[in-house]
Structure 1
Amino acid sequence: MTAELVRGQNHTLPQTRLEIRVSAGTPVVAGATLGDERGTVRGIEWIAHPGSPQLPGLEVSQQAAADHRLAVDLEALPAGAHRVTVLLALPVGAGGPVRFGAVPAPFVAVTGLDGTEIATFTVTDLDAESAVSALELYRRQDAWKVRAVGQGYAGGLAEMLADQGVRDPAALAGSIQEAVTRGLARSVAPPPSGTPEGDRVRHATGSADHRPTAPPPPPAPEPPEPLTDPATTGPAHTTQPHTTQPHTTQPHTTQPPTTPGPAAAGASAAGPSAGGPINYAHPRRQHAAPPSPPPAAPPAQPGQPAQPVAGDATGWSMDERLYNQIWGMFEDLARAVAAYRSAVDFAESRMDQELDRALSDPRNRIGGAGDRAREAARAKRDELASRAREALDRDLAQLAAEAAVVEPALPAAYAGWGNPVWHAHRIPMEIPMALRIGDLHLPERADLRIPLLVRLPLERGMWVDSGRTASEAAALMDTDRLRRLAMETAVAHAARLLAVYPPGEFAVHVIDPAGSAAGPLAPLVEAGVLAGPPAAGPGGVASVLAHLTRRVDLVQMAVRARAADSLPPDLDTGEQLLVVNDFPHGFDDRAVTQLRYLADEGPAVGVHLLMVADREEASAYGPVLDPLWRSLLRITPVADSHLADPWVGHAWTYEPLTIPPGSHVLEQVLAAVTAARRAAGR
């Protein structure tokens, strides 16, 4: 999977033989410098540029070009080289652009030898800079990583080389530009833009004798107008004329009458003439209708960012647009925080390097020189960190404004319990794309919540952790209170699932072996939306598990044999949800095996598991239940930082959905479910 880096972010390199590809859209100079463990360039022999393009383990282009390929072999670098920095600069005196703000943003990709992209970085936010340090490869604890730098220099190549610690950078920059000037005539121009398929027309070249070409065939006749008799048929009735097409009879074969369709007529009408232009567009290719355009944002005031609009993402429906927009908000927040954290780490690393460089001389370790070096390094660290925080605050403010617009526009399936949309909710006739089960946020701004949506039908079960060791907030609560809160969370999720499914297409079963959840289950029981009374005792547990296991077996056999019509008539083929409380109380070995079977095989055939349990209480089973816990999505009844995304590795804080105090929205929703079932005869 390609890592799309932002400024300051790093990524581990899986191999040491690499290729760095640069695409700038205009001729640029590409070079690279080698640095030691402190980032110091020891001399010009550690710089690869068009005048000296090859170093051990490193090779760059010999001329300015719009596209570059730099070859890197990290194992063949000179001894002591711990860093490779890729530099880009605009040619001087070539009549081209003089600042990166006037050209497309350079794109840099680190790839393997087979062309597989490992990491990419688009160098944005450049203006007056004419040189930029794009990215760097560095070694950290015997592992090589790539970091997106994107540091621009308005002073050009000389200033950038001076920042690398090169002696006499102006002379070296002049020699590089001189070498570029000699080879600028061989620079590669950017490739032409692609031509749409409908415009791929090749014109034949006329011959010397100018032979006349055959005239184009006449256009296909238009179909006759339908005949209408207002006196007998009325305005809404039309009669098509009966036409008989001649059919062709061949020996031993009789062709039925055929009528040329609109595609064939169009092909005949658009047929090319001999020697004329050749249209390579397929005449019968049909393109799906594009989705309707998203809502347009109102024009922004001068100097102000554009106002966010709910549903401005792509999609075929408003629900899909909102789903994609929420996913985009999640990505934007993850990227912004990752860039901020990486920038702070980069500032700390740079401060350490500058301190090591300044204090490497024992004479600077005492006296005022050492103190001044420390103050300068810390001041630069603070400046970089403050700039990163300003960028983060700007991004977070935009996301907060977007969230404030999106939240009121969400449908019931995506909305929280406090959204007024639930008070006017009607049971739908189709299931939505996803269901909201909580909120996510990061510590950089805890009040910016991103809805956590899971796709429907559910692809895995859920586990509400009722243990006190789940989080710090859970450890401060009483055990009985925490278990009750966990069961109330499960009941709320079951009610949301019942409310977003069509009437009669979702059934809820409950296992409460000790009957300890009578209070939290009261809304479901009183509304009459359960498939049966909550099962209690070992006998009730065995009965419900046997019933659902039989359903999974029968549906699996019917699907594999493609014999869905052979299912028993009394079998409920709708989605099933099993709510289990106080696991493993009341479960013997056979019941545990059946529960694991339902968790593994059930989601594929419409049987889902919602379990309320404390893992510590099931520790007696040992590793037998480890696959069960791993197969379920763990959520908590209180806020907890336990959800980690594999994209950038953030630990997201999960916030469960809570019903506002004093609200009767849960009872109203369940009453609507009951009324819809009664109206549908279910």
Structure 2
Amino acid sequence: MTAELVRGQNHTLPQTRLEIRVSAGTPVVAGATLGDERGTVCGIEWIAHPGSPQLPGLEVSQQAAADHRLAVDLEALPAGAHRVTVLLALPVGAGGPVRFGAVPAPFVAVTGLDGTEIATFTLTDLDAESAVSALELYRRQDAWKVRAVGQGYAGGLAEMLADQGVRDPAALAGSIQEAVTRGLARSVAPPPPRTPEGDRVRHATGSADHRPTAPPPPPAPEPPEPLTDPATTGPAHTTQPHTTQPHTTPGPAAAGASAAGPSAGGPINYAHPRRQHAAPPSPPPAAPPAQPGQPAQPVAGDATGWSMDERLYNQIWGMFEDLARAVAAYRSAVDFAESRMDQELDRALSDPRNRIGGAGDRAREAARAKRDELASRAREALDRDLAQLAAEAAVVEPALPAAYAGWGNPVWHAHRIPMEIPMALRIGDLHLPERADLRIPLLVRLPLERGMWVDSGRTASEAAALMDTDRLRRLAMETAVAHAARLLAVYPPGEFAVHVIDPAGSAAGPLAPLVEAGVLAGPPAAGPGGVASVLAHLTRRVDLVQMAVRARAADSLPPDLDTGEQLLVVNDFPHGFDDRAVTQLRYLADEGPAVGVHLLMVADREEASAYGPVLDPLWRSLLRITPVADSHLADPWVGHAWTYEPLTIPPGSHVLEQVLAAVAAARRAAGR
């Protein structure tokens, strides 16, 4: 599983032969230094750069490029080398940007030779720096690790090399930039990824509308866990919402813009470096030819994957990441413009001569005019990115299969219970305030890797605080019922069962569609006895399947044991739960997902506070969603506070009843 690192975080490397991929969106110089145990570079023979690209166990590119692949063999490094530091710098004298704050945030990935990502790091919060130490590989107790560094240097290569103990760093930096300048006339295509056999797969490079003609690469790695809830994550999670840790320094370039920046006037390449556009085995329909000077027309399924569902899944996550980075660049640009205005005002007003007459007023007007110009240019770049993403969403949404589609999509009216489960399930939409109508589907992988918690508390959000308590709880339970119905509808007949615990019988109304359709595994459990019976049944199932898996004796399972996926819907927790029941529920949350038992809790965490920290692991293991719109989810790249919108059934629609009737009919036909 890929580790998405933040600045200062480390991760163990499982192998010693690696590639380090750099995607910057603009030409950069890539190099690496070797250091001893203290991180000191012993001499220029321990530095790999475009003028001297090869060292024992290390090879870098010979010129500036937007994409690099550095080859590393940690076992072949010189004796005494305990650290490999990857360096990035902007080329000088090439007419390009002179600071990282004016370009998209560089992305660095450590991969195996087959292209599988081990760890990734996005270098955010850079401004006036023209050189940066991206990450380092270091030896610790005979094991190698990677650490995200992200240390920038406004003094460029010379300052960075001096910080590592290099003698005469200015002369070496000059020779590196001279070597780069000599190679700028040649265009450099990034090396294609390696296949598992170690050979290179040749493919076309360039903008997103290019299509390769060579054999397809291996399947793209699975996108990372996309969202965290800062209210429930533990200390190990460092991602926080943008609103609590704003970006204050990066410059005004938007993610996905061309290397020339938003003011160049040319077409924008909306393909983020992380987004792969290599053709899958069955290529999607070709995009209509673009008009000169215009981006290519979006096509549904224009992403990697072995099936249309997989291509759409990857495309949706690509759109999510593109929107996150584009908005991050815009917000950073506005912050930069404000900061620059404040600095210019401070300099102007610190001169006593400007405090008399109209000089001070003119200085303020000039500073504000520059601020407005920078903010306007950033907004123009953002609007272009948003328009392209909106056009992509407009063609993707109608093409989605039922599992990825909202309740209002006509595909649900023609839905048939499938014979195999899909890759993922849509549980809501996400959007940012810069364009609230641009919704990105929130997909979770199937089988579920973690349970969900529908927060029914009035303190969950501002919208919830304005609602009546009883209405909010009913809405939360209706949300849970809708999710259970979607899960039942996308699984083959009889391979997914739903159990319900309703201790006080307060959810009879919302549960009516499930009960009347006859799709529950049994009547909703009420009272302490019902709670204990359902929990004992599911706990026994988890224990038996775990033992069978460990002993590799699946044939020894009791014939009456349902080995299909199980979902336990718990209403109004913790009412009706004693200490033993709470312990069993925590056990199901921890051990259940690995053997097909999942939780869907409907609860107000404030009411469960009496249990104290005993329930903290339970809440952290679940994905918190809300029955009303709320901005509580954060992405792993830039930490935006995303607004989650639950899926709603169109007023007057009977789609839920139709779907449940189809589930019941499919079960009868299958004899389940």
Per the normalisation by structure 2, the TM-score is: 0.65
Which range is displaced more, 208-217 or 236-245?
236-245
Distance 2:101 2:240 in 1: 64
Residue deviations 1:457-511 (CA, integer Å, cap 9, x gap): 0011100000011111111111111000000000000000000000000000000
Which range is displaced more, 498-507 or 350-359?
350-359
| Change beyond 3 A, Cα 1:502–1:196 | closer
| Cα pair 1:466 1:483 within 8 Å, conserved | yes
User: Larger Cα Rg: Structure 1 or Structure 2?
Assistant: 1
Residue deviations 1:419-444 (CA, integer Å, cap 9, x gap): 00000100001000000000000000
Distance 2:528 2:231 in 1: 77
Distance 2:401 2:355 in 1: 64
| Change beyond 3 A, Cα 1:80–1:640 | farther
Residue deviations 1:81-115 (CA, integer Å, cap 9, x gap): 99999999999999999999999999999999999
| Change beyond 3 A, Cα 1:350–1:17 | farther
Residue 624 of structure 1 aligns with which residue? 614
Which range is displaced more, 140-149 or 409-418?
140-149
| Change beyond 3 A, Cα 1:628–1:410 | same
Distance 1:66 1:108 in 2: 12
Which range is displaced more, 568-577 or 94-103?
94-103
| Change beyond 3 A, Cα 1:162–1:219 | closer
| Cα pair 1:9 1:339 within 8 Å, conserved | no
Residue deviations 1:617-668 (CA, integer Å, cap 9, x gap): 1111111111111111100000000001121100000000000000000000
| Cα pair 1:106 1:123 within 8 Å, conserved | yes
Deviation at 1:359, TM superposition (A): 2.6
Instruction: Report the 3-state secondary structure (helix = DSSP H, G, I; strand = E; otherwise coil) of the residue aligned with 2:386.
Output: helix
Deviation at 1:680, TM superposition (A): 0.5
Distance 2:147 2:252 in 1: 57
| Change beyond 3 A, Cα 1:676–1:352 | same
The answer for unaligned runs of 5 or more in structure 2 is none
Residue 481 of structure 2 aligns with which residue? 491
| Cα pair 1:466 1:613 within 8 Å, conserved | yes
Residue deviations 1:127-171 (CA, integer Å, cap 9, x gap): 999999999999999999999999999999999999999999999
| Cα pair 2:424 2:445 within 8 Å, conserved | yes
Which range is displaced more, 573-582 or 288-297?
288-297
Residue deviations 1:269-307 (CA, integer Å, cap 9, x gap): 999999999999999999999612222101123333321
Distance 1:125 1:244 in 2: 15
Instruction: Report the 3-state secondary structure (helix = DSSP H, G, I; strand = E; otherwise coil) of the residue aligned with 2:474.
Output: helix
| Change beyond 3 A, Cα 1:168–1:294 | same
Residue deviations 1:226-269 (CA, integer Å, cap 9, x gap): 999999999999999999999999xxxxxxxxxxx999999999
Distance 2:232 2:3 in 1: 70
| Change beyond 3 A, Cα 1:3–1:285 | closer
Deviation at 1:364, TM superposition (A): 2.3
Distance 2:377 2:22 in 1: 27
1:323 is the counterpart of 2:313: yes
Distance 1:235 1:335 in 2: 25
Distance 2:239 2:577 in 1: 70
The runs of at least 4 consecutive aligned structure 1 residues that moved more than 3 Å come to 1-249, 261-290
| Change beyond 3 A, Cα 1:488–1:146 | same
Residue 552 of structure 2 aligns with which residue? 562
Instruction: Report the 3-state secondary structure (helix = DSSP H, G, I; strand = E; otherwise coil) of the residue aligned with 2:217.
Output: coil
| Change beyond 3 A, Cα 1:51–1:315 | closer
Residue deviations 1:184-236 (CA, integer Å, cap 9, x gap): 99999999999999999999999999999999999999999999999999999
| Change beyond 3 A, Cα 1:307–1:561 | same
Distance 2:560 2:394 in 1: 48
| Change beyond 3 A, Cα 1:539–1:220 | closer
The answer for unaligned runs of 5 or more in structure 1 is 250-260
Distance 2:502 2:230 in 1: 70
| Cα pair 2:40 2:165 within 8 Å, conserved | yes
| Change beyond 3 A, Cα 1:558–1:143 | closer
* 2:385 equivalent among 378, 395, 399: 395
Distance 1:654 1:541 in 2: 31
* 1:530 equivalent among 520, 526, 530: 520
Distance 1:483 1:327 in 2: 31
Deviation at 1:368, TM superposition (A): 2.0
Which range is displaced more, 194-203 or 572-581?
194-203
Instruction: Report the 3-state secondary structure (helix = DSSP H, G, I; strand = E; otherwise coil) of the residue aligned with 1:488.
Output: helix
Instruction: Report the 3-state secondary structure (helix = DSSP H, G, I; strand = E; otherwise coil) of the residue aligned with 2:160.
Output: helix
Which range is displaced more, 279-288 or 437-446?
279-288
Which range is displaced more, 381-390 or 232-241?
232-241
Instruction: Report the 3-state secondary structure (helix = DSSP H, G, I; strand = E; otherwise coil) of the residue aligned with 2:438.
Output: strand
Residue deviations 1:322-378 (CA, integer Å, cap 9, x gap): 000001100110011011011111111211222222233233233322222221111
| Change beyond 3 A, Cα 1:605–1:364 | same
Deviation at 1:450, TM superposition (A): 0.2
Which range is displaced more, 151-160 or 538-547?
151-160
Which range is displaced more, 594-603 or 146-155?
146-155
| Cα pair 2:51 2:62 within 8 Å, conserved | yes
| Change beyond 3 A, Cα 1:159–1:373 | farther
The alignment covers a number of residue pairs equal to 671
| Change beyond 3 A, Cα 1:140–1:346 | farther
Residue deviations 1:537-567 (CA, integer Å, cap 9, x gap): 1110000001101111111111111111111
| Change beyond 3 A, Cα 1:370–1:110 | farther
Deviation at 1:576, TM superposition (A): 0.5
Instruction: Report the 3-state secondary structure (helix = DSSP H, G, I; strand = E; otherwise coil) of the residue aligned with 2:312.
Output: helix
| Cα pair 2:2 2:224 within 8 Å, conserved | no
Deviation at 1:600, TM superposition (A): 0.8
| Change beyond 3 A, Cα 1:377–1:494 | same
Per the normalisation by structure 1, the TM-score is: 0.64
Which range is displaced more, 218-227 or 171-180?
218-227
| Change beyond 3 A, Cα 1:348–1:20 | farther
| Cα pair 1:197 1:281 within 8 Å, conserved | no
| Change beyond 3 A, Cα 1:402–1:240 | closer
Residue 446 of structure 2 aligns with which residue? 456
| Change beyond 3 A, Cα 1:675–1:151 | same
Distance 2:320 2:221 in 1: 56
Which range is displaced more, 139-148 or 366-375?
139-148
Distance 1:350 1:468 in 2: 41
Distance 2:80 2:231 in 1: 98
Distance 2:271 2:607 in 1: 67
Instruction: Report the 3-state secondary structure (helix = DSSP H, G, I; strand = E; otherwise coil) of the residue aligned with 1:199.
Output: coil
| Cα pair 1:298 1:307 within 8 Å, conserved | yes
RCO higher in 1 or 2 (8 Å CA, sep ≥ 6)?
A: 2
Distance 2:610 2:383 in 1: 49
Which range is displaced more, 157-166 or 390-399?
157-166
| Change beyond 3 A, Cα 1:383–1:150 | farther
Instruction: Report the 3-state secondary structure (helix = DSSP H, G, I; strand = E; otherwise coil) of the residue aligned with 1:367.
Output: coil
| Cα pair 2:26 2:258 within 8 Å, conserved | no
| Change beyond 3 A, Cα 1:346–1:149 | farther
| Cα pair 1:579 1:611 within 8 Å, conserved | yes
| Cα pair 1:344 1:384 within 8 Å, conserved | yes
Residue deviations 1:38-69 (CA, integer Å, cap 9, x gap): 99999999999999999999999999999999
Residue 341 of structure 2 aligns with which residue? 351
